[in-house]
Amino acid sequence: MRFRSDPVRYIRGSIAPVVTPFTDDGSLDIDGLADLIRWQLESGSHGISLGGSTGEPSAQSTAERKAAIDAAAEVIADKVPFLPGTGSASLQETLELTTHAQAAGADAALVITPYYARPTQEGLYQWYVTVARQVPDLPILIYNVPSRTAVDIAPGTVSRLRKSCSNIVGVKETTTDFQHFSLVMNAVGRDVIMLSGIELLCLPLLALGGSGFVSATANIAPTATAQMYEFWAGGEHDKARDLHYGLHPLVELTFTETNPGPVKWVLHQAGLIASACVRPPLTVPGAGAIERMKQLLNDGRRVLNAPMGR
């Protein structure tokens, strides 16, 4: 939690949203999660998240999500910022998980907009105020992903929340409406932590003054994804663009079928997790998808990490 005191300074770069490994029978694989996080740290990721869309949170119990947070915090051990996802469709569960993340030593919490209910902007405002005031010492990042939640938090609502709660410090925007990024930063202030959750908008966001990204593709190419940020921050823009385009095949692979099915298949094939199991209603990729994924792996081989060859 050493990064908690100054999140705007420290929460930057490639925050890897790790998958949640399960065993073949669908049980939570805590040891596998710990190994996966160690590999991410060795590969150069600038931060770790879990429990977002890539982590299948809605298919887990609250107890499982808490156990995953605890295991991750122990492995990360203040080496990089830790941003667990703690939101759900239930306010009580969101408060419970966010409070647990704070106690576990998280540096910030990613809180998804409540899904299924389709709340108004006033409903979203009240929701986030309640969460933020429950944990006033924990930085909160709003997680906006309208393709999954059917609600889009407006720039004005984010601005209102930032003024009301000093610990609401940023947004993870997972929307293909690129102007939305700019509108939020203009409304809230450019000192806001702005992270992209859309893979092909990770690099473009940096040109607007974004802080970094939470890219599912970092699960299979963590070093290249992290270096893309480092090159841009270091002024080597051509090198950053080269990695952006080099990652295109792996971005397509990630979403060949519903994420994280394809990512887990790749990690399993590489020996980085023991099983490619995803929980219902998701399924492992079908034969046709696997053939396409093999081709995309080949197309993206120049940006894959050396450990992926194991």
Positions marked catalytic: 143, 172
End-to-end CA distance of the chain: 33
Q: Which residues of 114-151 are buried (b: 16+ CB within 10 A; e: fewer)?
A: bbeeebeeeebbebbeebbebbeebbbbbbbbbeebeb
Report the side by side order of strands in the sheet with 47-50: 82-84, 47-50, 13-17, 212-213, 193-196, 168-173, 140-144, 109-112
Which value, in Å, is the radius of gyration of the alpha carbons in the chain? Answer: 18
Residue 111: how many other CB atoms lie within 10 Å: 26
Structure tokens at 306: 């050396």
CA within 13 Å, CB half, 161: 30
The one-letter code for the residue type at 220 is I
Query: How far is Cα 14 from Cα 27, in angstroms, rounded to an integer?
Result: 29
What stretches of the chain show up as alpha helix (H) in DSSP?
A: 7-10, 30-42, 62-76, 91-104, 121-134, 146-149, 155-164, 178-188, 202-207, 222-233, 237-246, 248-254, 261-269, 287-299
